[in-house]
Structure 1
Amino acid sequence: MTDSGRSRRALLRTVGTVAGTALAGCGTIADVFPASDPPDTGPQSSATAVRGRVVDTGGTPVVDADVTALGTGGTNLATARTDDGGRFSLSVRRPVWVRVRKDGYNERVRACRPGPTHRIVVTEATGTATLTFGGDTMFARRFYTDPTDQLNPRARIDPGDRRGDHDAILDPIEPALSAADLTSVNLETPLTTRGLRHPEKTYSFASHPVAADALAAAGVDYAALGNNHVLDALGPGLRDTTAALAGAGVGYSGAGTSAAAAWEPHVQGAGDLTVAFLSCTTITGDFYAIDLAANGPTDRPVTVTIDGESRTVPAGVGAARATTDRLDRAVRRADETADVVVVQIHGGEPYQRTPTPDVRRLTATAARSGADLVVNHHPHVTGGIERVEGALVAWSLGNLVFDQRIWPTFPTYLLTVTVSAEGAERATVDPVLIDGFVPHGIVGKPNRTVTWNTLATSSEEATATRSGVTFGAGSRPERAVSKQFPERGAIYAREVGWVAGVTEGQIRLGRDLLPTGRFESTDIDGEGYDGSLWRYGRTYPTVRREYGTDGSGGVRLRRVDGNRSRAVLSNTRRVPIDGPLTVTTNYRASETGTTLELTWFADTDGSAIGRRQWSLPPTGDRWQRFVRDASPPTGATHVNVLHTLAPPANGRRRAEIDDVRLVQWGDQGTTADRRADHIRVRDPATVEFGLPAFAERVQWPRLL
């Protein structure tokens, strides 16, 4: 980060500091769990520190680097300094952001947890800069409505404390946003207090202008405006948006009051480099009387009636409409004046990870014309990364701050790229999970879900690390390893390694659709074990470390004879499905009354079209794994996984739940898939795996 960036953010942000310093492992434990999860319950694993090693892109240890464990809002939890081998130890018990600073190197922030040894790669600062990108961002619509589901709390912006609530939404990812020289988001909303809205659009957003100040305080330097929502409040709303951003010191491009203004790049210094940001969209609403593009097909004033009042919308107001000719000219012009050219294209199909032919064509145009980095968004789900015509391309960033309630939009990521005058040298993907509309850094199972989803849609140059994906300089290649699976009918689950092929026998590959079914403490926040993406009663501590099978978290359902309703545990939103399923749960129940249910739906909304329910037999004090295969009924496209506990006739009743999985099985002919995390052995098989460099061996333990 540049000195000017640090000083600006220091003025905009007030950060509290709490305990914990350590030099290479010496010091006391920093207790940062809330009172409901006190320190005497122990850490999430047997480890008592976050440990790691800092190296440069050549693998050489970085000595005497400052390493800091950060909580939400950049709160300092513990510090250390790397030794002669680049090693460090931070005395914290929970997942944290780890920040590395060293003169001559670019700052790096990534998610880490106690237990494994983390390898953190830093890039040399001379002649380079770091750019971080977040996806679709808005603070509108459901952020201002009261929750209707008491079992599924979420963020709500109080008009009486708008700034504080905006800050709270961004606080969990502030350390990651503020680390880079320049940080960008796709601002998919006008910032305005006007009630004016586009008269023809079904979905129109409007966020309060205070969002600009909150974004700046969290570390955002630039907002891409070339999207299909920037004109939701028409021309006056666009003017309010640019004024709010300018007032907060946030740069922007991609929309304006003329085509020339919309295509004008934002140019800003980063280290010794100048970076030009271009933004444009393929989603231009050409079928509306008031299209959304500054260089739209009408390109003339339009008079419409809004709320009984006649209004004339001037020509040339709106987003930069992406065409190959206009994009080519804009990139070539920016390349003449800036060291690095970044193009952001808003387009593609919603909820589809694969780019459309139009987005591919525009991306290739930008690359051939001189773009060093092309970052795309609009589908609301994440895609892969690869090189196209020499440029680094991220096909879809997904959401960053959004109020959507669609399951595939919750796992997402931040992209950080080290650039030089020669182009994009290194990229890292840092997984993020949106829970209750709030983005969090993550470790553990949800982190691996994002990692392998990204790898599955990336080129082979992308490799997995313990905490995400790397691409380019400093990435270490995978190696091929084979493993035998002799037990016919057995199911194995991935810990490390991806299926690259089958040399003998037959298997079927599956994918767990529940990224948080282990109830670990995986979020980087102050909540400890908070059951991310699950619905349950929160009137007492329901998710705790000691409630699980292995001391890493589980759920306890409780009922007494005075209760009138069942205790409920289910996923927050309906999970999309497409194929046969296996549902499995680990549970412990001293008596009857516990059930497991799959509820089938034909869409994301509407009533259930069917149910499949099983009673879970009592187990006494023993844990037992329950497993059932299930085929969705005709018309079913979504499912909920539901655990319930009925009240007893008298006395008390309880059940504990852990490691819930919903495995969807793929085509029987598929023999290689990075996303697959389960194997069902049909005939004894020898399987080839790709093994990341951080792992010593393939780990696919038997589940059933």
Structure 2
Amino acid sequence: MRASGLLLICALAAVADPPAPESLLERDRSARRAWREEPVALEGRVLREDGAPAAARILAGDLEVETDGDGGFRFPKLPRINLLLTIRAHGFFDEVRPVHLACGLDTTCVRLDTLRLRARLPGRTRLVFGGDVMMARRFFLPGPGREPLLRTKTLAPDAARILCDVAPLLRAADVTVVNLESSISTAGGTAVSTKPYNFWSPPELLDALRRAGVDCVTLGNNHVWDYGEPGFQRTRTELDERGMAWCGAGIDEEGARAPAVLGPFRLLSYSGIRGTDVPLQAGRKRGGAAAMTPEAIREDTARAAAAGRVIVALHSGKEYTDLPTPRLRAAASAAAASGALMVVCHHAHTPQGLALEDGVLIAWCLANLVFDQDRWEALPGILLVVDTGPEGLEAARLFPIVNDGLVPRPATGDLARGILRRIASLSPGVPLHTRAGAAEIGFAGMEEWRRTEALEVPAGVPVKAHAADPEGWIREVSGPPGATVEIGSNLLRSGGFENEVVGHPGLPSVWTAGNAARLSFDDPRTGGACLLLSSAGATAALAHRIPVPERFTLFGYLRPEPRGQLRVRCSFRASSASGPAFEDEIRDVPADGPSWTSFSLEFRRPPGARTVTLEFSVPGSEPAALFLDDLAILEWSPAAGPLPARHTGEFLRSSLAGTLEVEWSGGIR
């Protein structure tokens, strides 16, 4: 009996002791090997516009398969790395789709939604629009501890490599247009303004853009005249030598307002930034960008509409904000009322919503295509793909991209879904249907579905609501009698740690992993990966400052090995880019047991602060190990009454435990 008791005590002690670092790391290495060596299948179906099966070739990297008689296809073995899938069929436009394959080992086959091909009919044209472009500053001088992406001896291949992951999307069109927000030069020059930011990019940028499929650039912006007329003339010469169309700037107002001729289209480009010490807009006897005034837009659009279909590009707004300014709205309305087919905007450097004004599509901000900004708000961007026909706009799709360490990459999975849902929430009245990493505008309308589901919730603990259709939206919530119910929006992208961009399988670049911290594939809570803090002193932190409301919740899941403590350090700043620091707030979260357990911490930012950076670590000196997954920074609002048709809320919290009745809705094209 005494021997049995001694054995029991020893067994309990063995269970309670933290695992030896060697055994933990060996298990992690085994999981990593399994994730790399265990392939995943990919299958889907391709149909024509009329619903008939399409005879198509499907390309996934170097592999290729053909559809069967029913339009189906299957790749039996693919690595678990996100990729671009290309669908080609005779007489149809190429379709390119980002596909999320970096999934967990419990997923053996990824099944895509039905892919529909659009025929190359007479009078039908496909256009692609990207946002702001430059390759300067941090591309050459990235800062301590980082390798430059552009080196003077290898500029051409370096520039091409930066664009290689988005190039297939840019090429899959008849005409591709971006905003060149930079002078082209080999050494800059003398800036004409004392403004703090003056951009020049090497000519190899244009070679890379041309090779990636870009046909035309807009110059109506606040950086085309950074180096005066010499800088503009050099830029124009470099563009002309490469056969790239351009518009939006000139040595006088007449030249700046002239349209670019793109087959049946006429492209006009304007800048709403006047300049301070030096005018940046063109005048009768002064060069610069075309000035964004409703009068000029109405006159130019009406004149150009007599010769072709007019597209207007506007460079204006308030940087790093969600909504267009009244001045930008007035300019876009002037274009729409004067015969424009569509309006595309930039300058805010963060994606904004869409609008339909008398059938005219307005994209308020496409954000950046390739830029050296590393502010949190400026990381996501949008590629807009538009099909036009004899009667006007026929189809439009949005593909989210992400600045991944200054490299633009297509987004997949929950990362793409979150970006698109935010854009949809900023696009009231636009029938935007999100599905499988892209969003499509339903010009012909959409059928709405509604359903109600019951959700059991504890008191005061955030719960992520899941609809039967992952693209559904919470429309109304009713809780237990007397309960206060809130809906929460997640402000943190990539809180699941698996990489959800094309072409980069490692830890997402928004995270930095320090001592003994690493991406792990050892039994993540969801998805394909989690974060491992493998010993005391291990640290991981956000590489960016995230704008947060006055009150917010840090929510996530923790798995100790078998017990431990997580230290969370919140560092507050006045802005995303600079500003004074405030006193850090440190919280310790104890954890016990071998399973995933949620934690929830409430924070209030100090007066004057606007942004937060998070650091996670294992305190102390004793052997310990912790896994983290599914982190979220939650902003709460009341869930009383009917909610907007589109919003970003997916978490719910009730002051009382009980059952929530959640009504969902969504659209079917």
Q: CA deviation at 1:154?
A: 6.9
Q: Does 1:645 align with 2:618?
A: yes
User: What percent of counterpart residues are identical?
Assistant: 28
Q: Which of 131, 138, 142 is 1:135 aligned to?
A: 131
Cα distance in 2 between the residues matched to 1:217 and 1:670: 52
- Equivalence for 2:25: none
For 1:42 and 1:401, how far apart are their aligned partners in 2? 31
Q: CA RMSD in A?
A: 2.6
Q: 1:188 to 1:181 in 2, by over 3 A?
A: same
Select which of 235, 247, 250 maps to 2:229.
Answer: 235
- The answer to whether the aligner puts 1:245 opposite 2:264 as a matched pair is no
| Higher mean C-alpha displacement, 199-208 vs 678-687 | 678-687
Distance in 2, Cα, partners of 1:48 & 1:103: 29
Q: Using the TM superposition, give the Cα deviation of residue 320 of structure 1 relative to its aligned residue in structure 2, in angstroms.
A: 0.6
Alignment of 1:546 onto 2:522:
yes
Distance 2:360 2:30 in 1: 47
Q: Give, in whole Å, the separation in 2 of the partners of 1:337 and 1:357.
A: 30
**Is residue 283 from structure 1 mapped to residue 273 from structure 2 by the alignment?**
yes
Q: 1:615 aligned to 2:610?
A: no
CA deviation after TM superposition for structure 1 residue 326, in Å: 1.3
Aligned residue in 1 for 2:69: 84
- Rounded to whole Å, the distance in 1 between the matches of 2:49 and 2:324 is 31
Of residues 479, 486, 493, the one that matches 1:508 is 486
Separation (CA, whole Å) in 2 of partners of 1:645 and 1:164: 42
Among 445, 448, 453, the alignment partner of 1:478 is: 448
Contact 1:546 / 1:552 at 8 angstroms: preserved in 2? no
Q: Secondary structure at the match of 2:201?
A: coil
In the aligned structure 2, how far is the partner of 1:679 from the partner of 1:77? 44
Q: Deviations over 1:135-164 (max 9, x none)?
A: 11111112121422x4xx575311121112
Structure 2 unaligned segments of length 5 or more: list them: 1-28, 102-109
93, 96, 104: which one pairs with 1:109? 96
Aligned to 1:522: 500
- Alpha carbons 1:230, 1:255 under 8 Å: kept: yes
1:174 is aligned to 2:167: yes
Corresponding residue SS for 2:286:
coil
Q: Which runs of 5+ in 1 are unaligned?
A: 1-35, 70-75, 300-314, 561-565, 695-704
Task: Return 89-98 or 345-354, whichever deviates more.
Answer: 89-98
Shift of 1:260: 1.6
Q: Distance in 2 between matches of 1:64 and 1:37?
A: 41
Deviation at residue 690 of structure 1 after TM alignment:
1.7
Give 3-state SS (helix, strand or coil) of 2:612's partner: strand
- 1:662 matched residue in structure 2: 633
Query: Within 5 Å, which residues of 2 pair with 1:256-295?
Result: 256-269=250-263, 274-285=264-275, 287-288=276-277, 290-295=278-283
Deviations along 1:298-332, one digit per CA (max 9) or x if unpaired, are: x5xxxxxxxxxxxxxxx331111011121112112
Mapped partners of 1:254, 1:49: distance in 2: 48
1:578 matched to 2:544? The reply is no
Q: Which amino acid aligns with 1:212?
A: L
SS in 2 for 1:372: strand
Q: Which residue of 1 aligns with 2:19?
A: none
Deviations 1:427-475 (A, max 9, x none): 1011111121111111112111111011101134111112121013577
CA, structure 1 residues 642+189, in 2 after alignment: closer, same or farther (shift >3 Å)? same
What is the rounded CA distance, in whole Å, between the counterparts of 2:453 and 2:434 in structure 1?
20
| Change over 3 Å in CA distance of 1:491–1:657 after alignment to 2 | closer
CA distance in 2, matches of 1:155, 1:676: 38
Query: For residues 266 and 498 of structure 2, what CA distance do their matches in structure 1 show?
Result: 42
User: Which residue identity lines up with residue 238 of structure 2 in the other structure?
Assistant: A
Pair 1:61–1:43, CA change in 2 (3 A):
farther
Name the residue aligned to 2:14. Answer: none
Q: 1:376 deviation in Å? A: 0.8
**For 1:355 and 1:687, how far apart are their aligned partners in 2?**
32
Structure 2 length normalisation: TM-score?
A: 0.86
1:541 Cα offset (Å): 8.5
**Amino acid paired to 1:462:** L
Alignment-mate amino acid for residue 542 of structure 1: R
* AA at the equivalent of 2:521: R
Map of 1:199-218 to 2, 5 A cutoff?
A: 199-218=193-212
Partner Cα distance (2:532, 2:555) in 1: 17
- Which runs of 4 or more aligned residues in structure 1 lie more than 6 Å from their structure 2 counterparts after TM superposition? 36-39
The 10-residue stretch of structure 1 (685-694 or 89-98) with the greater mean CA deviation from structure 2: 685-694
Change (3 A) 1:629 1:646: closer
The Cα of 1:117 is off from its aligned counterpart by: 2.2
What is the SS of the residue equivalent to 1:689? Answer: strand
Matched, 1:375 2:362: no
The answer as to 2:473 corresponding to 1:498 is yes
Give the match's secondary structure for 1:599: strand
Letter in 2 for 1:648: S
Between Structure 1 and Structure 2, how many residues are aligned? 614
CA distance in structure 2 between the aligned counterparts of 1:320 and 1:105, rounded to whole angstroms: 37
Q: CA deviation at 1:40?
A: 4.7
CA distance in 2, matches of 1:43, 1:384: 38
2:568–2:588 Cα contact (<8 Å) kept: yes
The answer to whether the 8 A contact 1:499-1:671 is kept is no
Any conservation in 2 of the 1:61–1:84 contact (CA below 8 Å)? no
Kindly state the Cα deviation for residue 567 of structure 1 after the two structures are TM-superposed: 2.9
Indicate the SS of the match to 1:515: coil
Give the C-alpha shift of residue 227 in structure 1: 0.5
What is the one-letter code of the residue matched to 1:176?
A: L
Give the whole-Å Cα distance in 2 for the aligned partners of 1:209 and 1:553: 40
Deviations 1:175-200 (A, max 9, x none): 11111111111111111123211232
Query: 1:38 & 1:451 partners in 2: Cα distance?
Result: 32
Give the match for residue 455 of structure 1: 424
Q: Secondary structure at the match of 2:333?
A: helix
From 327, 330, 336, the equivalent of 1:361 is 330
In structure 2, the residue matched to 1:689 is 664
Pick one of 40, 50, 59 that aligns with 1:48.
40
For residue 211 of structure 1, report the CA deviation from its aligned partner: 0.6
1:177-229 deviation per Cα after TM superposition (whole angstroms, max 9, x unaligned): 11111111111111112321123222111111111111111111111110111
Do 2:496 and 2:527's aligned partners in 1 also have CA atoms closer than 8 Å?
no
Distance 1:670 1:574, change over 3 A: farther
State the AA in 1 paired with 2:194.
E
The 1:612/1:39 distance shift into structure 2, 3 A limit, reads closer
Q: Which amino acid aligns with 1:556?
A: L
Contact 1:121 / 1:474 at 8 angstroms: preserved in 2? no
Tell me, in whole angstroms, the C-alpha distance in 2 between the residues paired with 1:280 and 1:243. Answer: 20
Secondary structure at the counterpart of residue 78 of structure 2: coil
The whole-number CA distance in structure 2 between the counterparts of 1:92 and 1:549 is: 23
Taking the aligned partners of 1:62 and 1:358, their CA distance within structure 2 comes to 48
Residue 677 of structure 1: SS of its match in structure 2?
strand
The alpha carbon displacement at 1:668 in A equals: 6.0
Match of 1:635 among 599, 608, 612: 608
Q: Deviations over 1:409-429 (max 9, x none)?
A: 112221100012322111101
Checking the alignment, whether the CA contact within 8 Å between 1:374 and 1:391 is kept in structure 2 is yes
Q: Match for residue 302 of structure 1?
A: none
CA contact (8 A) 2:183 2:201 kept: yes
Give distance in 1, aligned partners of 2:48 and 2:324.
33
Please give the alpha-carbon distance, in whole angstroms, between the structure 2 residues aligned to 1:571 and 1:206: 30
CA distance in 2, matches of 1:494, 1:119: 26
Deviation at 1:68, TM superposition (A): 1.1
Give the residue type in structure 2 aligned to 1:121.
Answer: R
Give the counterpart letter for 1:533 in structure 2: V
Per-residue CA shift, 1:583-623, capped at 9, x if unaligned? Answer: 12322333546412222222232453133322233535433
Q: Does residue 221 of structure 1 match 2:215?
A: yes
**Which structure 2 residues correspond to residues 4-43 of structure 1 after superposition, within 5 A?**
40-42=33-35
Q: Tell me which residue corresponds to 2:85.
A: 98
Q: Which one-letter code corresponds to 2:97 in the other structure?
A: R
Measure, in 1, the Cα distance between the counterparts of 2:556 and 2:462. 14
- Using the alignment, how far apart are the partners of 1:140 and 1:468 within structure 2? 30
- Kept in 2: contact 1:353–1:382 (CA 8 A): yes
